[in-house]
């Protein structure tokens, strides 16, 4: 059986996401969920960086940049959405973040009108 990557921190993050959803509900713009999650992380004493700029490199030259919603404790990328479902482009987006950052795990979370959805994404995998 495969071992979970960063299980304790992952469970804490998902718990905070549910707390935010239970407090706000669905229907808000992504930026408001991001602000609420950042506040909840601070209240819980969880280290995170917001809107982390990650360069996209080609050899030794930067050819672009990504903006990661959160890097939690330097170990997990958290990408926030406010849409009814995850699309293939969302998975590809976080896989690119993992590749560029060298981090092995991302959590893709979407605050929808029908509840919170989340998906763990491992570098090189989509589950």
Tell me: the pLDDT tens digits for 53-107? 988 888 899 899 989 999 999 999 999 999 999 999 999 999 999 988 889 999 9
**Domain residue extents for the chain:** 7-122
Q: What is the mean pLDDT of residues 25-52?
A: 96
CA distance 105 to 6: 8
> Confidence band (pLDDT; 50, 70, 90) for 30?
very high
Residue 2: pLDDT over 70? no
The DSSP code for 41 is H
Q: Which numeric CATH code is attached to 7-122?
A: 3.40.1350
Mean pLDDT of all residues belonging to the chain: 92
């Amino acid at each position: 059986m495969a071992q979970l990557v960063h299980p304790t921190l992952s469970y804490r993050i998902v718990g905070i996401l549910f707390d935010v959803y239970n407090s706000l509900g669905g229907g808000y713009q992504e930026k408001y969920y991001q602000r609420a999650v950042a506040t909840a992380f601070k209240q819980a004493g969880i280290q995170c960086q917001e809107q982390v700029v990650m360069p996209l490199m080609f050899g030794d030259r930067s050819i672009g940049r990504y903006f990661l919603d959160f890097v939690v404790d330097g170990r997990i990328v958290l990408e926030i959405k406010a849409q009814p479902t995850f699309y293939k482009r969302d998975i590809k987006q976080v896989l690119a973040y993992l590749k560029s950052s060298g981090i092995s795990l991302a959590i893709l979370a979407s605050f929808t009108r029908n509840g919170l959805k989340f998906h763990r994404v491992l570098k090189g995998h989509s589950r």
